[in-house]
Structure 1
Amino acid sequence: MTAGTDLRPPRVPAQQPRTAKKRRPWIGVLGLVVVAFLAYSLPPYLALDPARSRVPAPAGFGAHYWFLVGHVVFGSIAMICAVVQIWPWVRRRFPVVHRYAGRAYVFGGVLPSGVMALTIGAASPFGPATRASDVLLAVMWIGCTWAGYRAARDRRFGDHRRWMIRSFALTMSIILNRLISPIAIFILEPQMATTFGGSEVAFMQSVAATAAWLSWTVALVGAQLWLERKPKKAVAA
C-alpha cells in the first residue's frame, strides 16, 4: 500500500429532490380544466334566470330549476375542494387546510349536491336510462364520500384515501360527460333516419344516456385500476 492512498469510496453527491411542481405537473392541468369547466357551467345558474338553464324543466316540477342551481353551486364547491384535497403539496405542508377543505368537500359540496342530484336525476327530461344513471351516480357519490369521511374519523387513513379517490373520480366524471356527449352525437347522428326513425327525442335521449352511463363508470373503473396498480420497484441505492 502506498503512502497517502485513500481507499474510502468516492462520495456521491446527494441528488437534490425534485420540486413538487416537477413531480406533479398534472395538478396544474387539473386545476386549469376545472376552472375552465366552471367558467362555462356556472354563469347560467348564478344569474338565477330559469330561461338560461341548459336543462329543460320536466312538466309538473316547478322547483326543478332551483334544485338544479343548488346542485350546480354545491357541486362546484366539491370540484374546487377536490383539487385542493388531491394536491400532494397541500396535504404534506398544510394538513390543517387539508382537513378543513375535506370537511367543506363533504358537507358543503358532495352531500347537498348529491341529495339535489337524486331529486333532479329522478325527474330527468332525458329519458328513463339517463334517470337510472343519474340516480345511481348520486347514490354512489354520496356513499363513497361518506365512507371516506367515516374512515378518516375512525383514523383508518388507508381506507379513507381509497374511498376519497373513488369519490374524486365521481366528482370529476361530469367533465368526462361533457366530452363524451359530442362524440356520441357524432357517432349516432348518421343513424337518425334508421335507428331512431327520424325522432329527435329518441336521438337526444340516446346521446344523453350514453354520456351519462359512460362518464361515471369509466371514471370509477379508472380510479379502481389506479388503486390496484402494482407499486414500482424500489430503485437500488
Structure 2
Amino acid sequence: MFRRPWMAPLALVVLAFLALSLPGYLSLDPSRSRLPSPPGFPEYYWILVSHIIFGSIAMVTCCLQIWPWLRQRNLALHRRLGRVYVFAGVLPAGLLGFVVGVNTPFGPVAMASHVILSTLWLGTTAMGIITARKRRMAEHRRWMIRSFALTMSIITNRLWSALAAAALEPQIATTFGGSEIAFMHAIGSLSSWLGWTIPLLVAQWWLDRRPARRRTPRIAQPA
C-alpha cells in the first residue's frame, strides 16, 4: 500500500461515502430514501435498496481488486473476490440499475444517462471476464480499470450534484422560471452525465499514456 499512496485515500473515500449513504437505506424505511417511488410502483423502493446494496459490494471488492499487493501476494483470493465483484456486485446492481434509471425522477436526460451507464458498466465488466478466461491479462486489466471507473462514478455523481446545486440555485427565479422541478431536473441531468463520463475519460487517458511511457527508450549512461 505504501508504494501506491492512492490506495489509502481511495479506501477512506469509499468507506466515508458508504457510511453516509447506506444507513438510510439499510433502515428499510421508504421515507428516508433520496429518490421517491413512482406512483403505482411501490416495488421501486426495494429495487433501489437492492441496487444500492449490490453496488456497495461492488465498490468494496473493487478497491481490493485493484490493490497490487493483494493481487501479487494472493492470486487465488484476487480471483475469488473478482467473482464476488461480478456476481454479487456489478451484475445484479447493473441489471437493477436499468429499472432505477428508467424510473428516475430527474427527467429523460438523466434517464438516458443512467441506462447508458448501466450498459457500459455491465459491458466493460463482461469484457474483463472474457479476456481473463482467455488469459489475455493485459486486456483484462484495461477493461477492469474501465469497470472500476464506472463503479466509483456514484461518488463523483454526488460531488457534481452539490456543485451544480450551488451554481444553479441563484438562477431558480430566472433561468428555471421559479420551477423547483426544472431546477432538480437540471441538477440530476448534469450530475448523472458528468458523474460517469469524466471518470471514464480519465481512466482511458491513463490507459492510453501508459504504453507510451513503456516504449520510451532508455538513454544510455556514459561509462
Q: Shorter chain as normaliser: what TM range? A: over 0.9
Show the 5 A alignment for 1:110-121: 110-121=90-101
* CA–CA separation in structure 1 for the residues paired with 2:182 and 2:219: 56
Structure-1 residue corresponding to 2:192: 212
Match of 1:231 among 202, 213, 217: 213
Moved over 4 A (4+): 232-237
**Residue 123 of structure 2: which of 115, 139, 143 is its match?**
143
Distance in 2 of aligned mates of 1:51 and 1:180: 24
* Worse-superposed segment, 151-160 or 197-206: 151-160
Query: Any stretches of 5+ residues in structure 1 without a counterpart?
Result: 1-19
Q: Which residue, 32, 37, 41 being the options, matches 1:52?
A: 32
1:33 CA displacement: 0.4
Partner of 2:56: 76
- Separation in 2, partners of 1:231, 1:102: 28
Letter in 2 for 1:231: R
| Partner Cα distance (1:180, 1:120) in 2 | 19
Give 1:108's match in structure 2, choosing from 88, 96, 115. Answer: 88
User: What amino acid maps onto 1:203 in structure 2?
Assistant: F
Instruction: Give a deviation string over 1:17-43, Cα, whole Å, max 9, x none.
Output: xxx41x211000100000000001111
Q: Residue 44 and residue 236 in structure 1: after superposition, are their counterparts in 2 closer, same or farther (change >3 A)?
A: farther
1:181 Cα shift? 0.8
- Correspondence for 1:169: 149
Using the TM superposition, give the Cα deviation of residue 120 of structure 1 relative to its aligned residue in structure 2, in angstroms: 1.1
Percent identity over the alignment is 56
Q: Deviations over 1:78-127 (max 9, x none)?
A: 00000000001001111111101111000010000000000111111111
Q: Which runs of 5+ in 2 are unaligned?
A: none
> In structure 2, what is the Cα distance between the partners aligned to 1:146 and 1:225?
21
Scaled by the length of structure 1, the TM-score of the pair is 0.89
The structure with more helix, counted as a fraction of residues: 2
In structure 2, distance between residues paired with 1:164 and 1:61 = 35
User: Residues 200, 83 of structure 1: CA spacing in aligned structure 2 closer, same or farther, 3 A cutoff?
Assistant: same
Once the 2 structures are TM-superposed, how far is the Cα of residue 231 of structure 1 from its aligned partner? 1.4
Q: Which residue of 1 aligns with 2:16?
A: 36
Whole-Å separation in 2 of the counterparts to 1:226 and 1:235: 24
2:42 aligns with 62
User: Counterpart in 2 of 1:202?
Assistant: 182
TM-score, normalising length from structure 2? Answer: 0.94
Question: In the alignment, residue 99 of structure 2 is paired with which amino acid?
Answer: T
The equivalent of 1:191 in structure 2 is 171
Aligned residue pairs, count = 217
Equivalent position to 1:152, from 132, 144, 151:
132
